[in-house]
Amino acid sequence: MQFKAMILDNAEVSPGYWRMRMTAPPEILEAQPGQFVMVRVNPSIDPLIRRPFGVFDVGLHQPAYTGAAPQPYLEILYRVVGKGTAMLSALHGTDLLDIIAPLGSGFDCGPAGEEKLIVGGGVGLAPLYLLARELVKDSPVRLFAGGRSKDDVLCITEFERLGVECYTATEDGSLGEQGFVTKVLEQRLDTTGNKGRIFACGPHGMLQAVAGIAAGRHIPCQVSLEGYMACGVGACLGCVCQGANHSSETPDYRCVCSEGPVFDVTELKWEGACHAT
């Protein structure tokens, strides 16, 4: 669906990372974890094309006054990386945005009771909070959050509030273990004897490492990809990534927006350049 959203809140949660809450129609409450939205930053032609963001959270906002009807809302978590996101971060409450949502496929949550391992790198946590909220309903959930420094590890408190056990790693050691978050994931898998199901979103290098761990230990694993896209509905074919059987002779491209953004790792090609970081 396409709708006009009014910004309720737009705050910098960590240097360079912003969390925005906006109004949405009630249908947004049915968004699946892993789905995304396309945001038109303003009605002008600069920036021209929409920007894709994972659904961070959806819910009902209760206005303070007596008798007020609850207002469904949508939240995104974004990093300022260019002109579009910089302009987004400069918007204020009551500003309007044009949104298309929800788009793409969501995560398959897997069986109840099974250990769920969520791996997020930097702003890759964006589509994983709604997932965690869903998973904690019937499964033990652990989060492995990584980043370059403590400023790149976001919203851990929110995950902890859900009852998720959080593990962190930073490349500079400013928070949690020093090094890549995949190391911490492997330590947990060593402890449990490779039990559980992995859900990951983050930079391509991290996803590639997670895919390798999942394959080596025979653990089911899904990843959520980013792609540079114009339409979000499978028409422009800009955001494709390489499917598992891709080769230059027999090309196998998948649309991140309409066939993903969530893929089972076995569907994708991990050697070579799958440009979806």
Partner 1 sequence: MQPDMSVEIAGLNLRNPVMTASGTFGYGEEFSRYVDLEAIGAFVTKGLSLKPRAGNPTPRIVETPGGMLNAIGLQNVGVEAFIQKKVPFLRTVNTPAIANFFGSTPDEYAELAGRLDAIPEVAALEVNISCPNVKQGGIVFGTDPGCAASVVTACRAATTKPLIVKLSPNVTDIVEMAQACEEAGADALSVINTLTGMAIDLERRRPVLANVTGGLSGPAIKPVALRMVWQVARAVTVPVIGIGGIMSATDALEFLLAGATAVQVGTASFVNPGAAQEIAEGMQQWLAEHGVATVRSLIGALEG
Residue from 114, 177, 252, 267 touching partner 1 (CB under 8 A): that is 252
Q: How far is the CB of 208 from partner 1 (least distance, A)?
A: 16
CA 104, CA 260: separation in Å to the nearest integer? Answer: 6
> Which residue type occupies 82?
G
Under rule CB under 8 A, residue 238 binds partner 1: yes
Interface of this chain with partner 1, residues 48 to 87, rule: CB under 8 A: 48-50
Residues 6 or more apart whose Cβ sits within 8 Å of residue 164: 118, 132, 136, 141, 142, 143
Interaction mask 98-137, partner 1, x per CB under 8 A: x-x-------------------------------------
CA 209, CA 29: separation in Å to the nearest integer? Answer: 33
178/247 with CB nearer partner 1: 247
CA 188, CA 181: separation in Å to the nearest integer? Answer: 11
Cβ-in-10-Å burial (0-12, 13-18, 19+) of 170 comes to: buried
Q: How far is the CB of 193 from partner 1 (least distance, A)?
A: 38
136/233 with CB nearer partner 1: 233
CA 149, CA 170: separation in Å to the nearest integer? Answer: 5
Binding range to partner 1, per CB under 8 A, among 134-142, 165-173, 232-240, 261-269: 232-240
Under rule CB under 8 A, residue 25 binds partner 1: no
Q: How far is the CB of 186 from partner 1 (least distance, A)?
A: 30
CA 271, CA 269: separation in Å to the nearest integer? Answer: 6
**Alpha carbon of residue 4 to chain centroid:** 22
Residue from 81, 235, 245, 264 touching partner 1 (CB under 8 A): that is 235
Length of the chain in terms of residues written: 277
- Return the DSSP state at 90: T
Which of 140, 220, 212 minimizes the C-alpha distance to 183? 212
| Residue 220 CB coordination number (10 Å) | 15
Count, residues near partner 1 per rule CB under 8 A: 32
Residue from 19, 21, 40, 133 touching partner 1 (CB under 8 A): that is 40
Residue from 161, 237, 264, 266 touching partner 1 (CB under 8 A): that is 237
Under rule CB under 8 A, residue 229 binds partner 1: yes
Q: How far is the CB of 164 from partner 1 (least distance, A)?
A: 34
Q: Footprint of partner 1 on this chain (CB under 8 A)?
A: 1-2, 40, 45-50, 98, 100, 227-231, 233-241, 251-253, 258, 273, 275-276
